[in-house]
Structure 1
Amino acid sequence: MTDYSTLIDTETWAFIEKTNSFYPPDAVEMTVDEQRAVYDRMCQAFHAGHPEGLSMGTGWFEQREPHIRMRVYRPEAENAPAVVLYLHGGGFVVGGLESHDDVCAEIAARTGFDVLAVDYRLAPEHKHPAAFNDAMAVFEWLLSRSLPVLLCGDSAGGNLAAALAAAGRKNARRALGQVLIYPGLGGDVTTGSYVSHADAPMLSTRDVLFYHDVRGAAAGDPTAAPLADTDFSDLPPTVVITAECDPLSSDGETYRDRIIADGGKALWIEEPGLVHGYLRARHSVARARDSFTRIVNALSALGRGEWPADLARQKP
């Protein structure tokens, strides 16, 4: 059994305890609406506000039915070389525009790129491929416009970003790059971190299987499990950043290896001692702060058409 007392530092334990304090002992018996309410309250407690010099607008993508709610974050500078399509985490069950609002705002402010966040439909009301179809519709629309598109997402959002990158790679215009943050990519749950970190704080392998079942995707569908694909060629330059104490970490390593094996460019960074969901800890945990800087630097480099080869060695 993994000894998390030696892997996880005091700051990260404080973050874990604060997160857990929002969930009652009988959380497993809560309805989906109750789970969403708790998750939203928890995210709000970590909300860091918006940087100065940033405009924001919320509206609807009306080019298809049902309409999709989305939010744009725009820095003062108007010469950005790319736009970031951000897809939030939450196991395809919880989360939305508010849960990752400050994350998107900070990415926009620190990269100088517009960030577009998508409020895709959630399970169990909307099974797979509802979330993928929503994200794909917005992605294709962005590709038809002037600026190149960077894909970015955390957890379930990282899954969606990878699925979009694969589905859109044959288009005349494709994603300029992708940055995936502790993504769940549908890896083998009987090996690697799924076993060594099966009972990790914040996310367990049991939780991963629960969210998979709720989503209702068929086995072997690469639009739901990007690692189920058999072809990893022609994917955009990819940076995957995972947490060491997370059952999903091996997915990032496997995805990196398969892209490279098929001739692509990919970098995998495992953040020591961090846990799933650490984006919310970027203002309270030094390790998470440093990782968020690497995420921002990866997006900035890829948006300029550069490969962030030294990202793992960067000291924020």
Structure 2
Amino acid sequence: MPHLTETPDLTTLPGAPDYSVLLDAEIRAFIARTGSFYPPDTAGFTAPEQRRVYDRMAEAFHAGRPEGVAVAERVIVSGDTEIPVRRYTPRGTPGAQVVYYHGGGVVVGGLESHDDVCAEIAARTGFIVTSVDYRLAPEHRHPAAFEDALAAFRAVAGQSEVPVLLCGDSAGGNLAAATAHATREDQRRPAGQVLIYPGLGGDMSRGSYRTHAHAPMLTLADLYAYRDIRGAAADPGAPDPTLAPLSDTDFTGLPPTLALGAECDPLCDDCAAYAAAIRAAGGQAQAHVEKGLVHGHLRARHVSARAGESFSRVIAGLTSLAAGGLPPAG
């Protein structure tokens, strides 16, 4: 499957579904609050402008760190690159570690934007969480972010005596999956992965990409903009699982995978397509559609019952994968 297409004439796309029906009052309030910080046309801003807007929004939604989680900064050195990471260690003896990749289109985000999310994952699972501050585009185009993601996993796995899981949201889910594909032959492979509304390189001409092309929080136009900022390989028609995991021609040997898509998100169908490809290759994978939720709903986990339930699914997924398998379906 080619991972890049020409940008279509987006004015010809069908109108949006009735989001006043699909989304409940809590999520509509969350969208409105997000919009007060993050204008709909932000994807067209310069990268520094986008980061200022995004960081201000993330700070406003920061829910604080739970008690009992120790936080430490370190740097992973990979060749000439230094990759800052933040390690969250809960009380007790951890049964696993999680390498977390933040979302943001590989253009925005960092250690601060997902600080509370990572701290809560550590507190609720009892696992050590390492958040990775990978390089961003356009200053560092593809494959820079992937290279950092891969190096960070290998550094953590190489020093861990417990299973290591991959987790990420949006672009971070893309990096987690790409890392899973790249480490199938490693001596220390991921024990599992949880992907939260990931962009995996699905067919942008059909399905949820078109049905929810005008969705709140993320549009198809945004996806094309972020795709162009990140950059691609010299041959845009060639499969490149480091950029688009769904473009891979081999889905064998991948770790057990839980992919959580948001119903009202152009990326939603990537989860089902990815899980189906893994199962067809003999692997274990589940895809779950979070009804009535939108891209970026991690930040709504304390103000929306639906988003809170979705976050609990992330925790349950990580806990089950650390124990050796996927959670019960449903």
**Normalised-by-shorter TM-score class:** over 0.9
Q: Compute the TM-score of the two structures, normalised by the length of structure 1.
A: 0.96
Alignment of 1:297-308 (within 5 A): 297-308=316-327
Alignment of 1:1-316 (within 5 A): 1=15, 2-24=17-39, 27=42, 30-78=45-93, 80-145=94-159, 146-218=161-233, 219=236, 220-310=239-329, 312=330
Q: Confirm or deny: 8 A CA contact 2:262 2:289 kept in the other structure.
A: yes
Q: Distance in 1 between matches of 2:41 and 2:197?
A: 27
Q: Which amino acid aligns with 2:106?
A: F
Q: Distance in 1 between matches of 2:42 and 2:213?
A: 19
Q: Compute the TM-score of the two structures, normalised by the length of structure 2.
A: 0.92
| Pair 283,172 (structure 1): closer, same or farther in 2 beyond 3 Å | same
3-state SS of 1:67 partner: strand
| Pair 88,27 (structure 1): closer, same or farther in 2 beyond 3 Å | closer
Q: Which amino acid aligns with 1:233?
A: T
3-state SS of 1:62 partner: strand
Q: Distance in 2 between matches of 1:136 and 1:27?
A: 29
Deviation of 1:82 (Å): 1.2
Deviation of 1:27 (Å): 3.8
Q: Distance in 1 between matches of 2:247 and 2:290?
A: 25
Q: Which amino acid aligns with 1:151?
A: L
Q: Distance in 2 between matches of 1:256 and 1:231?
A: 13
Q: Confirm or deny: 8 A CA contact 2:43 2:225 kept in the other structure.
A: no
| Pair 244,26 (structure 1): closer, same or farther in 2 beyond 3 Å | closer
Aligned-pair identity in percent equals 58
3-state SS of 2:37 partner: coil
Deviation of 1:138 (Å): 1.2
Deviation of 1:142 (Å): 1.9
| Structure 1 segments of 4+ aligned residues over 6 angstroms from their partners | none
Deviation of 1:110 (Å): 0.1
Of stretches 57-66 and 149-158 in structure 1, the one that deviates more from structure 2 is 57-66
Q: Which amino acid aligns with 1:301?
A: S
Q: Which amino acid aligns with 1:42?
A: M
Q: Distance in 2 between matches of 1:22 and 1:112?
A: 33
3-state SS of 2:81 partner: coil
Q: How many residues align?
A: 310
Deviation of 1:63 (Å): 4.8
- Point out where structure 2 has 5 or more consecutive residues left out of the alignment: 1-14
Deviation of 1:307 (Å): 2.5
Deviation of 1:61 (Å): 1.2
